[in-house]
Structure 1
Amino acid sequence: MKILFASQAVDGHFNPMTGVAMRLQERGHDVRWYTGQVFAGKLQRLGIEHFPFRRAIEHRADNLNELYPERARLKGPLAIGFDGEKIFASNISNFFEDIRDLNTDFPFDVAVVDSTMFIQRLLSHLLGKPLVTFVVVPNMESDPMVPPLFFGFNPPRNAAEKLVQASAGLLSDKVIFRPANQSYRRQHGTYGQVVPSHGRLTDEPYRCSDAVIQTGPESLDFPRRHINPKVHYVGALLPYRAADQSAAGTGVDDELPRNYPATFVVTQGTVDNADHNKLIIPALEALKDMDALVIVATGGRGTEALQARYKQANVVVRDYVDFATVFDFTDVFITNGGFGGVQLSLSKGVPLVVSGINEGKSDVNARVEYAGVGINLRSDAPRPADIAGAVEKVLADPGWKERARKMREQLDSADPAEAAAAVVEGIAKPSAG
């Protein structure tokens, strides 16, 4: 069977899909991938043929503010609305035209598509392809019991909270996401596609797919009134890792000091990591004098400057960290809330302290808080005292570790890549050729 994977050129979108792609390839399917040039080397090492973006703009974690200088000045709803229009909606026609062209040389039987590409309606309606949407963020489908996206709300507990969230949802639909919605409808209109007036833009991938692979355990989502039978929660879909792959090249190995009573891991992700004053530096100020090993992953930005500033023997600062290895002996993970990192932490039973707002991280962190597996600081730039207090609270109360351990048991109960591969095989209709 010929399977086309398609994803944004962003690590947090591409990496979680690799495990499924490799499982399908191992099962004898012809797997190829449409994404940005930045992943050409990774795909070559995986043995997967790469179809690079042609018309589409390559939005990467490290070039967004370069492509759109005005973006760096935006915060809150303005930043969310800008990203919705420029980074996500603007590329829809480009993605579709690229894929329609490559379909001539590679007439794929099924497409596995990153939900944030928003090309599901065009692929399914115009190309008639069986389609699986791959969701690397929390479930985006609207539901009466689920708060509106990007505000970091927990489910409402009373009438006042319901009113606030209803108003926020209206603001999101009518103001914040209006430019993205208009762009989406305009581009579909050029292909004669009429988008239903009800629902939200983020509902479209769920409407127009044969199946949805939802990363993360269902227990990390909010309760829902309506259960979509297309949605398959498959657990923590982590980046593909060869059986013989080790921590080589990460700068973190077996020589790390293990004579500390606790270990903390800190990261600010791979997108919003240019300004270390948001989380990394406050975390270091909070933790540097504790009797604990502090491991910091910078994502490749400003590592040397941090190493020069923090020379304490208990502080290890590296570009990248092999989280799968260090989480085996980590007590608390301090992060801005990338969904992949959160899932990996919980897959190892490590409780969290989360602090992040942009790129949808507020919604991830709200789910961490709701599930009781971490403390949500609800800030884009927390104070050192708040970080220290949250870490000490997690260490002092074994309930945090116990709840994280229970979620680990849930994640250990299934093979996520196998479950996701079965979803793809279940909806595919191989061509006669």
Structure 2
Amino acid sequence: MRSHARTALADVQQHAEAVFASMGVALPDFLFNAWCTIPDHLLQLSVPAFEYPRSDAPAGFRLIGAIPPGPAGDFPLPHWWADLTAGRRVVVVTQGTVANEDLGQLVVPTIRALEGSDAVVVAATARPDGPDLVRAALGDRVPENVRLAGFVPFEHLLPLADVLVTNAGYGGVQSALRHGVPLVVAGETEDKPEVAARVTWSGTGVDLRTARPEEAALRAAVDRVTSEESFRERAEAVRNEIAQHDPFAAVAEIVERGRPTTRG
């Protein structure tokens, strides 16, 4: 991965070195390493239970808790909201707000995989035309147990969920863990494989290791995560650790202190 990144970003590295040189200093490291090693403080929005221990972490590195929730605001509940508290499993599936151009990667296969099951499947498409796109992909035959949504605030939805099926976007995964919700993850682009690997390492879910999982694999993963208590227990353990952190207070402490971390 490091070798590939250095090759793919060779032009960016050259540009960054030129920018640093124009200011009379040298870029001391590969760009992706430098943003971790140059700053006096590096604050990561996560907790130790979800991050590999690192003996080589920079001196100013701190895990300060999960991404804080945004303001809940007024959200008109859809007519099917009561279905989420009727005693059936609640499976939320999303491709997040970036990699959701093709909902046939994960949202549609999950719907098909769980059609006719005992679960209520909420497809949170995160785009206003998402429900229409899903209907079209399904041939206007939406299964009885599926509820389609454009934007649904996770602060309202995740407390009712038994599992989140996601392409492993960092924000969505952290939001799920902040609510103690276990995961089924399936992603291949950007940072998603790294996030998915941490889901496996932390015991909080199952990684399908592909952006286009088969329906049978999705069904088996959802059944496993919702039936084996260990996944919920690990997700709740991470939730409890997150609850001990206040990211805003951590940032404020460093800003108000106004001095760099002492380096050896």
TM-score (norm 2): 0.88
Number of the residue aligned with 1:233: 63
Go from structure 1 to structure 2 and tell me whether the alpha carbon gap of 1:176 and 1:236 turns closer, same or farther (over 3 Å shift): same
**How far apart, CA to CA, are the structure 2 residues paired with 1:378 and 1:257?**
29
**How far apart, CA to CA, are the structure 2 residues paired with 1:330 and 1:239?**
17
**How far apart, CA to CA, are the structure 1 residues paired with 2:70 and 2:80?**
20
**How far apart, CA to CA, are the structure 1 residues paired with 2:123 and 2:41?**
38
SS of the residue corresponding to residue 357 of structure 1 reads coil
Number of the residue aligned with 1:92: none
- Quote how far apart the aligned CAs of 1:417 are: 2.2
CA contact (8 A) 2:106 2:212 kept: yes
**How far apart, CA to CA, are the structure 2 residues paired with 1:378 and 1:426?**
43
- Quote how far apart the aligned CAs of 1:203 are: 1.9
Go from structure 1 to structure 2 and tell me whether the alpha carbon gap of 1:237 and 1:281 turns closer, same or farther (over 3 Å shift): same
The root-mean-square deviation of aligned C-alpha atoms, in Å, is 2.2
- Quote how far apart the aligned CAs of 1:250 are: 6.8
Match of 1:223 among 53, 60, 71: 53
Go from structure 1 to structure 2 and tell me whether the alpha carbon gap of 1:228 and 1:387 turns closer, same or farther (over 3 Å shift): same
Identity %: 30
Go from structure 1 to structure 2 and tell me whether the alpha carbon gap of 1:254 and 1:380 turns closer, same or farther (over 3 Å shift): closer
Gaps of 5+ in 1: 1-167
**How far apart, CA to CA, are the structure 2 residues paired with 1:359 and 1:215?**
17
SS of the residue corresponding to residue 382 of structure 1 reads coil
Go from structure 1 to structure 2 and tell me whether the alpha carbon gap of 1:370 and 1:252 turns closer, same or farther (over 3 Å shift): farther
CA contact (8 A) 2:124 2:150 kept: yes
Amino acid in the other structure paired with 2:226: L
Note the 1:183-198 alignment, pairs <5 A.
183-196=15-28
Correspondence 1:205 to 2:35: yes
- Quote how far apart the aligned CAs of 1:329 are: 1.7
- Quote how far apart the aligned CAs of 1:232 are: 1.8
Number of the residue aligned with 1:149: none
Note the 1:246-395 alignment, pairs <5 A.
246=74, 248-249=75-76, 251=78, 254-300=81-127, 301-307=129-135, 309-395=140-226
SS of the residue corresponding to residue 296 of structure 1 reads strand
Deviation sequence 1:356-390 (CA, Å, 0-9, x none): 01121111111111111010011011111111111
Match of 2:44 among 205, 210, 214: 214
Deviation sequence 1:85-107 (CA, Å, 0-9, x none): xxxxxxxxxxxxxxxxxxxxxxx
Amino acid in the other structure paired with 1:350: V
Amino acid in the other structure paired with 1:295: V
Note the 1:114-193 alignment, pairs <5 A.
168-173=1-6, 175-193=7-25
CA contact (8 A) 2:116 2:144 kept: no
CA contact (8 A) 2:90 2:163 kept: yes
CA contact (8 A) 1:251 1:320 kept: no
Gaps of 5+ in 2: none
CA contact (8 A) 2:80 2:147 kept: no
SS of the residue corresponding to residue 235 of structure 1 reads coil
SS of the residue corresponding to residue 379 of structure 1 reads coil
CA contact (8 A) 1:262 1:331 kept: yes
Note the 1:392-407 alignment, pairs <5 A.
392-407=223-238
